[in-house]
């Protein structure tokens, strides 16, 4: 009997490992919207619960950044740097929108704790994260991969970054924005 249980357990472990691998690979092979394409539109709730629609930002540059988890070290660094540079983005007629699979309550805590004043959008159903090819996994958790899309005032994606370095990303986006505005 112990031998049978051992084999059943071993088979279940292998099946789970294969399912996890397939799930992670599927997330890695998502299709992102391409540079030059119209950015997929969406409406998501922000940290205060109000709906935010991408369409409402026509006429402005939009920095749409996806990040894994509120109040984690890398995500906090990235958010702080966007907050630090927010007046520079605003001077360039740009808005910063952060998106994760966290809830509005989590975003509200993150913004309050870290003094963030730009919009963090909640996508707990993973619809927008998936549509932008940014759905990922960290162990058993579903997260947003750290990707950013720069959208021009006409609603077209003009630049994208994948697997960004949160330490220097805000400066990279500002530099790209300055170059594109020339």
CA 171 to chain centroid, in Å, comes to 17
Residues 6+ away with beta carbon under 8 Å from 63:
82, 89, 94, 95, 96, 97, 148, 149, 150, 151, 173, 177
Q: Is the pLDDT of residue 60 over 90?
A: yes
pLDDT confidence band for 15 (50 / 70 / 90): very low
The whole-angstrom separation of Cα 68 and Cα 4 is 41
CA 157 to chain centroid, in Å, comes to 15
The whole-angstrom separation of Cα 86 and Cα 10 is 53
Work out the average pLDDT over 33-38. 96
The whole-angstrom separation of Cα 54 and Cα 97 is 9
Q: What is the pLDDT of residue 182?
A: 87
Segment 68-82, tens digit of pLDDT? 999 999 999 999 999
The whole-angstrom separation of Cα 155 and Cα 84 is 25
Q: Is 75 a catalytic residue?
A: yes
Q: Is the pLDDT of residue 25 over 50?
A: no
Work out the average pLDDT over 177-181. 94
Lowest mean pLDDT among 3-12, 25-34, 44-53, 135-144: 3-12
Q: What is the pLDDT of residue 27?
A: 43
Pick the catalytic residue from 44, 52, 64, 75. 75
Lowest mean pLDDT among 29-33, 39-43, 91-95, 157-161: 29-33
Lowest mean pLDDT among 29-38, 84-93, 165-174: 29-38
Q: Is the pLDDT of residue 113 over 50?
A: yes
Q: What is the pLDDT of residue 28?
A: 47
Query: Could you tell me the domains of the chain?
Result: 31-180 (3.40.30.10)
The whole-angstrom separation of Cα 28 and Cα 142 is 13
Work out the average pLDDT over 161-172. 96
pLDDT confidence band for 21 (50 / 70 / 90): very low
């Amino acid at each position: 009997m112990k031998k049978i249980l051992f084999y059943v357990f071993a088979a279940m472990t292998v099946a789970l490992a294969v399912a996890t691998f397939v799930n992670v690979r599927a997330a890695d092979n998502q299709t992102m919207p391409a540079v030059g394409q119209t950015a997929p539109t969406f409406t998501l709730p922000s940290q205060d619960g109000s709906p935010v629609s991408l369409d409402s930002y026509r006429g402005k540059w939009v920095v749409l950044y996806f990040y894994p988890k509120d109040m984690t070290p890398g995500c906090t660094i990235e958010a702080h740097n966007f907050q630090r540079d927010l007046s520079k983005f605003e001077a360039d007629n740009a808005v910063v929108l952060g998106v994760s699979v966290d809830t509005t309550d989590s975003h509200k805590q993150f913004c309050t704790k870290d003094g963030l004043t730009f919009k963090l959008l909640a996508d707990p159903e993973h619809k927008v994260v998936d549509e932008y090819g940014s759905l990922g996994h960290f162990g058993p958790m579903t997260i947003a991969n750290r990707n950013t899309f720069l959208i021009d005032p006409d609603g077209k994606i003009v630049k994208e970054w994948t697997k960004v370095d949160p330490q220097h990303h805000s400066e990279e986006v500002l530099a790209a924005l300055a170059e594109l505005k020339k």
